Amino acid sequence: MDHLYSLKGKITAAKAPAAGPYLHGLAAADAAMMDWMHQYRAPDTTAGPAARLAYFQQQQQVLAGVSKQFRATIDSATLFIGQLPAAAPVPAPAAPALTK
């Protein structure tokens, strides 16, 4: 998640005209992870072992999809940042003139 937020900050700071799809992708990956985390509920302990196992397997598949989206989005955003022109160095402020 830290990497995702770092990439979002770098892309936003670059103010590149083509940044929109990358920012949207990062937001969508973040939302997918948050949605999964908020909907997840541990299975009822009174359910049979087969039912609990089936639930965990289903959740594992959902999480694998979220993970794949997350990785693809981060890879794409990283590539985009690497293709941006390097920011021009900010000139140091001029020293004040000394007067006698």
SS3 of 15-76: the string is CCHHHHHHHHHHHHHHHHHHHHHHHCCCCCCCCCHHHHHHHHHHHHHHHHHHHHHHHHHHHH
Q: Which domain holds residue 28?
A: 2-82
Confidence grade of residue 93 (pLDDT, cut at 50, 70, 90): low
Measured CA to CA, the distance from residue 29 to residue 68 in angstroms comes to 9
Report yes or no on 44 lying in a domain: yes
Mean local confidence (pLDDT), 8-19 = 90
Measured CA to CA, the distance from residue 92 to residue 82 in angstroms comes to 26
Report yes or no on 40 lying in a domain: yes
Total structural domains within the chain: 1
Helix or strand or coil: residue 84? Answer: coil
Report yes or no on 97 lying in a domain: no
Report yes or no on 18 lying in a domain: yes
Report yes or no on 15 lying in a domain: yes
Mean local confidence (pLDDT), 1-7 = 88
Query: Can you give the pTM of this predicted structure?
Result: 0.73
Report yes or no on 19 lying in a domain: yes
